Structure 1
Amino acid sequence: TLEVSDGIIHKETVTACNTGTEIAIHDLFYNVPARKKFLKAKETEWRTILQLFYAICLDYPQVHFKLYNEKKLVHNCPIASHLTLRIEQLYEKALSHNILVFEAEEGRMNLKVSGALSDPQYSRYDRNQIFVFVNKRWVKNHKLAQALIKGYQGMLQPERYPAGFIFISLDPEFVDINIHPRKEEVQFLHPRIVELLIETTVKERLELYTAQSLGASTPVSHQPKQQSSIPTLPTNTHAYSNNQVWRISQSFEQNSPLISQEKQQLESSQFTQAIAQHFTSQVVNPEHPTAITQVPTSILQQNTIQAQDVTTTAELSYTLVGQALDTYIIIQTTEGLVLIDQHAAHERIIYERLKANFNTIERVKLLFPQVISIAKNDMVALEPYLMLFHNVGLIIEQASATELIVQETPIYLKNQPVQDIVQQTIGWIHELQQVDMQQLQKSLQEKIHAQMSCKAAVKAGDELNTAGMHEIIKELYAQENKLTCPHGRPTIWALSQYEIEKKFKRNYK
């Protein structure tokens, strides 16, 4: 037993104990009280400790680790024979049941990449479950993490991130570890080779998973491969471990790129036939002889209405052409055609309503409250901000260390699952932890409003009737910020008559 204070050993004795090392630290800031002022909130520091603990446990599965918080045992991780077992000890079952193991090599630098990643059935709203280790050292490298994410291209929803645990080993002469005071960052001599190996390995591993889920013997790539300006790597040898947990979803066929491609071809054929039917009853507008209106005269006469533009206090005169691809509303104005993204437009409308009625949000009490399960460390991060949900009309209470109960929701979210909103908020809290409390609450409030608007708005693919399209058009043009949705995507695309005529080579005036 050793007792050390101020760098001096005050006591050294022989003590009988179990195999291992136990370190107890007391009065850490007794002689440097100024450093204590730089500590962040208790929850923030605890999340940092957790990330460090996870990294050490993942890096050394042959060691038994225990983590205590305020004299309570939080994690007990015995020796693990392989990485997937260690992941089961640290994380929830939703992740451990969806883990894929991978391994690849590249000969020139004695480079080897191995580890585990989540299948496309699992995703998160933040990057907190992406760990990268270089020669047994936990590092923070955005480009390597981005290479992992690129391997999932087309497999995850926007703003969703996978879990990945990447272990890189290579000759020390090809990596510099002295570019950061705390050795948290590294610089590779050939970074593009490492990034490309990670990206291609992840992509091939996921393609193999997809092929096996569909019952195919070999992976099938559904996207044409693009040639890269980076020199191709030597032939890689890939060995996939047998300790993989597969999960075949019943709805996988609906999300398969192969099925989607056939569906798109069918819809394209139907859309072509619809256009042919419209062209059989062409009506030429006498005011614009060069413009062909592809709808019957009766629709033109019925759908010409006036809408008020608040920003310019001028009337907007338009003709509703119809809905294209069950996603875009097409209108004709004196300037040409305007396409409106129905989801983005409705999202903007609901977002502005939520902001305007911040203190008077109508709520609906749920007959059967929703139960949401989250990880313990996420609950610790979320607990101080539960009142934010009350401010936006969500009555959420903590039921246990890992469960929340949703009692009431805003009327816009009636019959909508709240799980995604809660998980997204947890991701934002992790992302904005460096911001002061007031600014964090303001940012979270805006993001929650935007997320609620997205969930409540009509979706791409929803068929709208004439009244519904008129309602979206009128309300959108009454908004001050009408050009983008709360997430920044455009709501309107104007196609002038000049651009149309130029495309058809009619701009000969």
Structure 2
Amino acid sequence: MSPKGPEIRALDPATVDRIAAGEVVERPASVVKELVENGLDAGATGITVEVDSGGIDRIRVADDGVGMSEEDVRKAVKQHTTSKLRDVSDLERGVDTLGFRGEALYTIGAVSRLAITTKPRGSETGTKLVLAGGEVEACEPAGCPEGTAVEVTDLFYNTPARKKYLKRESTEFDHVNTVVTRYALANPDVRFVLEHNGREVFSTTGQGDLRTAILSVYGREVARAMVPVEGLAEGPLEGLSGYVSDPETTRASPTYVSTFVNGRYVRAKPVRTAVVEAYGTQLAPSRYPFAILDLELPPETVDVNVHPRKMEVRFGEQSAIESQIEETVKETLLDHGLIRSSAPRGRSAPEEAAVAPESTEPDAERTTGGRSEPEAGRSSSASDRAAGTDDRVPAPNRVDGSGAGDRSTGRNGANARGRDADRDRRFSRPTRQTTFGEPDEPDYERLPDLRVLGQVQDTYVVCEADEGLLVVDQHAADERVHYERLREELGGETSTQALVSPVELELTAREAELFDAYEEALAHVGFSATREGRTVRVGTVPAAFDATLPPDLLRDALSACIGGDPGDTVEATVDDLLGDLACYPAVTGNTSLTEGSVADLLAALDGCENPYACPHGRPTVVRIGREELSDRFERDYPGHAERRED
């Protein structure tokens, strides 16, 4: 090392190539995407994708496209070669091919062992080329069908830093599944087959009917719920086609909202926002519909260079396009009678019930997100939950007394019970101006002394503390309470509810694969189910403090499993599931709380091991200190102290 510091040096070309390739090919799904796009650009009518171990061990993509001669395949694996661009003018006017970056084979070959078998249409002999780490090891004649098959093995064998960041097999395959699914939906005239570990996941007919393709990848239940997007509102789009689902057929994540621009799959948040807005209040909070939309517009009006893998785009007239999509989808839903033209009359906002003396009557008509709480079936009052009682009508398919148990037991339940008197001392109700008892030493695992001032927007509890103001997010706080109680329950025997008769759920191809990977974890939290094809029969469901969770939450639980590290144990997966399950019985935003409910919620939160964050990492408490308040009101301006002394 130089005495002045580390030496600055230029990297050799081989190292630069590997770094660049690793940045573009970040996981098996990246490889699949590039190869599928090349097959489509080659005019394929059939594409088969085979992966082993989520694509970590092996990927093979075969198409019946135009194929390549020996001369062409030798050129195709070199850097800066493509059949899709002539010069910079092609980039400036926009490109209408899929794999227009052009260097897929070279880039993939730089970080893997790659074999290409290809034969041009009408040719008698094919060619097999073997590439390892970017170097051609062999190229010889081969017998093979017309088209091209690319097999990739030992991905990232020479870039261990990239390989280290791969997720577990089920997660990597989920990304592969998503890529193939979206291109199958974008190209219903192409026959797609997806196989994982030698088993077919789904296949489409390639007959050109999008609804049939939807049936193949999403199942009959979803296909029946989809309606075609018809007509086009005024705006810059030249065309808008596809399908959207009814407001009842939804999922907890936006995974199933697929956007295509001139046939290319892209991530376009404005489009997703427009689709969700089109449903208005008919779509439940935090739910997303199924949607497949293909936008047609001149290529030169779309900036495809926002993302290195061309996965995101920027529209030249984004606001106008967003409004056009929202209006078109809304009109489609209205025409099919799936949404109302306006909100129904009556109370559309939660009843104003600021912190006030606690009533002895049951709080039966408190609203949650515009629905009366008994109707919502997901949130009971914080005071009811802390006391282990719930006056809601049991679910029709529930067997009462089949293991719900006493929800007030366990570490946090005992804390909540044992602190009833402590709560009255430590929690100051506005009518009594008292505070929590003073601790001898600060304990940062507990809440500070508080005096509740009120509730803001029926979502946040505002409290006064010695050091300033504390604002509590009631949903995040209740999530933390439920999460720790669920975790405590799992220390013994999981509380479940047996269903009177098993409930059958139809899964998408993606969900069916995830079920196989996470069946053990689901059973651990209370979902007992068996799968046959795309259908699961659910026999028991989790019971969260007298709230029997509905069987169809199993679908959301499957999606929640995605994203874990390869070394995650069942216990770690279960812990992630608990965080999501804790969300369902938690009190929501836009819910008025009585004084007693606030007291019980804060007492239960105070008994948690970590009262300052929900299980998903969101803060439960935001502190606004005395100094910040003084600074915001500029109480230190010149002359203020002098006038105060006068």
Question: Where on the TM-score scale, by shorter chain, does this alignment land: which range?
Answer: 0.5 to 0.7
Which of 23-32 and 473-482 deviates more? 23-32
The partner residue of 2:180 within 34, 49, 53 is 53
Which of 307-316 and 161-170 deviates more? 307-316
Q: Contact 1:109 / 1:174 at 8 angstroms: preserved in 2?
A: no
Q: Contact 2:529 / 2:539 at 8 angstroms: preserved in 1?
A: yes
C-alpha distance in structure 2 between counterparts of 1:40 and 1:477, whole Å = 36
Query: Is 2:536 the partner of 1:403?
Result: yes
C-alpha distance in structure 1 between counterparts of 2:622 and 2:306, whole Å = 47
Q: What corresponds to 1:250 in structure 2? A: none
C-alpha distance in structure 2 between counterparts of 1:266 and 1:343, whole Å = 15
Which of 463-472 and 340-349 deviates more? 463-472
- The DSSP-based 3-state class of the residue aligned with 1:359 is coil
Q: Contact 1:322 / 1:329 at 8 angstroms: preserved in 2?
A: yes
- The DSSP-based 3-state class of the residue aligned with 1:348 is helix
Q: What pairs with 1:350-499 in structure 2 (closer than 5 Å)?
A: 350-355=482-487, 359-360=491-492, 363-364=495-496, 366=498, 368=500, 370-371=502-503, 373=505, 374-389=507-522, 393-394=525-526, 396-401=528-533, 402-407=535-540, 409-410=542-543, 412=545, 415-420=548-553, 422-430=554-562, 432=563, 435-438=564-567, 444-457=573-586, 471-479=600-608, 481-482=610-611, 485-486=614-615, 488=618, 490=620
C-alpha distance in structure 1 between counterparts of 2:502 and 2:532, whole Å = 14
Q: Contact 2:233 / 2:325 at 8 angstroms: preserved in 1?
A: no
- The DSSP-based 3-state class of the residue aligned with 2:286 is coil
C-alpha distance in structure 1 between counterparts of 2:453 and 2:303, whole Å = 62
Query: Is 2:248 the partner of 1:164?
Result: no
Would the alpha carbon gap of residues 264 and 335 (structure 1) be closer, same or farther in structure 2, given more than 3 Å must change? farther
For the aligned residue pairs, the C-alpha RMSD in angstroms reads: 5.2
Q: Contact 1:308 / 1:477 at 8 angstroms: preserved in 2?
A: no
Gaps of 5+ in 2: 1-123, 130-138, 358-429, 630-643
Gaps of 5+ in 1: 13-20, 221-256, 276-298, 500-508
Shift of 1:126: 2.3
Q: What pairs with 1:73-222 in structure 2 (closer than 5 Å)?
A: 73-80=200-207, 82-103=209-230, 105=232, 111-177=238-304, 183-209=310-336, 219-220=341-342
Q: Contact 1:397 / 1:406 at 8 angstroms: preserved in 2?
A: yes
C-alpha distance in structure 1 between counterparts of 2:350 and 2:284, whole Å = 24
C-alpha distance in structure 2 between counterparts of 1:454 and 1:32, whole Å = 38
C-alpha distance in structure 2 between counterparts of 1:314 and 1:170, whole Å = 55
- The DSSP-based 3-state class of the residue aligned with 1:263 is coil
Shift of 1:5: 0.5
- The DSSP-based 3-state class of the residue aligned with 2:582 is helix
C-alpha distance in structure 1 between counterparts of 2:466 and 2:142, whole Å = 89
Shift of 1:181: 6.2
C-alpha distance in structure 2 between counterparts of 1:326 and 1:175, whole Å = 42
Would the alpha carbon gap of residues 363 and 153 (structure 1) be closer, same or farther in structure 2, given more than 3 Å must change? same
Q: What corresponds to 1:243 in structure 2? A: none
Q: Contact 2:518 / 2:558 at 8 angstroms: preserved in 1?
A: no
- Over residues 140-171 of structure 1, what are the superposed CA-to-partner deviations in whole Å (9 max), with x where a residue is unaligned? 33443344334445443333222221111222
Q: What corresponds to 2:95 in structure 1? A: none
C-alpha distance in structure 2 between counterparts of 1:82 and 1:76, whole Å = 14
Shift of 1:123: 1.1
Would the alpha carbon gap of residues 111 and 349 (structure 1) be closer, same or farther in structure 2, given more than 3 Å must change? same
Q: Contact 1:413 / 1:452 at 8 angstroms: preserved in 2?
A: no
Q: What corresponds to 2:142 in structure 1? A: 10
C-alpha distance in structure 2 between counterparts of 1:93 and 1:383, whole Å = 20
Amino acid at match of 1:354: L
C-alpha distance in structure 2 between counterparts of 1:101 and 1:89, whole Å = 17
Amino acid at match of 1:436: D
Q: Percent identity?
A: 22
Q: Contact 1:125 / 1:159 at 8 angstroms: preserved in 2?
A: yes
Would the alpha carbon gap of residues 396 and 171 (structure 1) be closer, same or farther in structure 2, given more than 3 Å must change? same
Q: What corresponds to 1:294 in structure 2? A: none
C-alpha distance in structure 1 between counterparts of 2:220 and 2:521, whole Å = 28
Amino acid at match of 1:29: T
Q: What corresponds to 1:263 in structure 2? A: 347
Aligned length: 419
C-alpha distance in structure 1 between counterparts of 2:319 and 2:592, whole Å = 46
Q: Contact 2:232 / 2:239 at 8 angstroms: preserved in 1?
A: yes
- The DSSP-based 3-state class of the residue aligned with 1:61 is coil
Amino acid at match of 2:127: V
